[in-house]
Structure 1
């Protein structure tokens, strides 16, 4: 049996360290001497070395204790630690890019950028964007459809943002959290009482946007085809009518008069890059394809 000093010397730690782990129940003593001093057996050395290895990974003492007592597996604790580190790294990357955005701008812009950056956490949450879309969408849409639309409309944050991406997100955050000036402002006609069946419309639009995204990625100009037919069909079916040339003409005028939220989509494109066409970009492509078709028919 070793004294506390002998155990500390063999393990290469201080007596204070051994006493600390002993007092917290991580390193049970083998026995006590006649004078009341702690005594440890050889197994205590192995346990102490294991404790030091776990602590070297910055695992908290309670987690170390649960691993030693087999209440938690090492794999689960390590996985949890990795998630914590990932979150901290994401925050640091965001903060670094935010500081660069402040450092690189002209002095006259710094106060405004600081206001925008200071309004979001690091790393930021996309929850305000999701709330914006849930308010903007027409009422009584099926839950699964709302979730699908929100997932498509809310951009994913980049793992390593650039200063420009940080600014794009902070401006996006400011846009969606700004007070609304009146009920119904910015809503397209499809959201009104004469908009037909919005659930049918949005189901069809999701399909049409997917088809148009392929055209955008292929850098094709707005034109007739499957994507446009699907787009028009969604509006026709939602209104219980047929896709005819007169209907397409009316739809072209209706869409031209709809309020726009281009600012949202422009900022989203800055955040995600050109490899992921936004629903706003696909909608514009389809509207242009419809307008081009109407111009050709009129000519």
Structure 2
């Protein structure tokens, strides 16, 4: 053996950046044994030992446990196998950390109290399978009654909310809110009723009687108000609603008063419940779907504007 290839423990420390104490520990545990000893009894290591220490340090810095490192050094596992397994493990850890970060941002933004914070944390921690089970159970229970329409159940199931691995703060907040909705028995009944209209393409009684021309005019006016950002409870909405109420009064030969407004709101509510429309918006947010303005239901805006007159 060429003595020039032998290194003292101090030289190994300088070359690898590991402390003498650490190298001595690895040496005593047999991970990197000394090649020989000097006449004075000091440990000496060859070039292979230097390379083993350099690889050991790299793998340890990448988070590989010592037992696995030993198997790599003993050629029981390849570096590629260990790297792939470690990368998979890191993917999971990263997703967990990202989710924790997102929950914390939601808590900070909403000023959540301790109970709400715990709830958000538990709901966000659910695995993808657990979240799907929660939604599947909700859909099954919602459309279990004999009078439920299969087409409505299929429509709701086709739009199952799927929280991504790296959700945004808005997606986590939407998931928490949606999880609260699906546990509400009253909400299930309302979704079952309104979904039947959407899935079957059925017209409301007021739509049939008013006629396509008036309904098209109504949808256009409300859509324009929504796209302009007009608050249905604000003063700017009054002119829009007044004009529509007078049109419906003429079509139904009624007086354009509060009673007519209340009746119109009740008619439109049969297929457009604000809570149900909120559910669909939450699904869009969670799934990251682009919200197309002209597909946003217009009746919820109109219902609120009609009810606002009575509330005043």
- What TM-score, normalized to structure 2? 0.51
Q: How far apart are the structure 1 equivalents of 2:96 and 2:89? A: 11
Aligned residues: 213
Cα distance between partner residues in 1 of 2:157 and 2:26: 50
Higher helix share: 2
* Higher Cα Rg, which structure: 2
Q: Tell me, in whole angstroms, the C-alpha distance in 2 between the residues paired with 1:150 and 1:72.
A: 45
Equivalent residue of 1:153, what SS? coil
Is 1:4–2:6 an aligned residue pair?
no
Mapping of 1:50-199 within 5 angstroms? 50-105=55-110, 110=113, 113-122=116-125, 124-135=126-137, 136-137=139-140, 153-157=160-164, 159-162=166-169, 164-176=170-182, 178=183
Equivalent-residue separation in structure 2 for 1:35 and 1:42 (angstroms): 21
State the Cα distance separating 1:61 from its structure 2 match.
1.5
SS at match of 1:29: coil
> Does the alignment pair 1:49 with 2:54?
yes
For residues 252-271 of structure 1, the aligned pairs below 5 Å read 264-271=279-286
SS of the aligned residue for 2:44 comes to strand
Partner Cα distance (2:19, 2:31) in 1: 16
Residues 22-79 of structure 1 show CA distances to partners (whole Å, capped at 9, x for unaligned) of 2333212223557765332232112212222222322221222222222222222222
Number of the residue aligned with 2:43:
38
What is the DSSP-based 3-state SS (H/G/I as helix, E as strand, rest coil) of the residue aligned with 1:39?
A: strand
Decide whether aligned partners of structure 1 residues 87 and 7 sit closer, same or farther in structure 2, where only a CA change above 3 A counts.
Answer: same
Alignment gaps of 5+ in structure 1: 140-148, 190-220, 222-255, 285-299
Shift of the 102–160 alpha-carbon distance from structure 1 to 2, 3 Å rule, reads same
Q: Where does residue 193 of structure 1 map in the other structure? A: none
Q: Is the CA contact 2:102–2:172 (under 8 Å) kept in the aligned structure 1?
A: yes
**Structure 1 Cα separation of the partners of residues 282 and 77 of structure 2:** 45
Tell me, what secondary structure is at the counterpart of 2:280? helix
What residue is the counterpart of 2:200 in the other structure?
none
Q: Are the equivalent residues in 2 in contact too, given 1:116–1:174 (CA < 8 A)?
A: no
In the alignment, the residues of structure 2 paired with residue 10 and residue 276 of structure 1 have an alpha-carbon distance, to the nearest angstrom, of 59
Structure 1 length-normalised TM: 0.53
- Are the equivalent residues in 1 in contact too, given 2:175–2:282 (CA < 8 A)? yes
Give the SS at the match of 2:21: helix
Counterpart secondary structure, 1:120 = helix
Q: Does 1:16 align with 2:25?
A: no
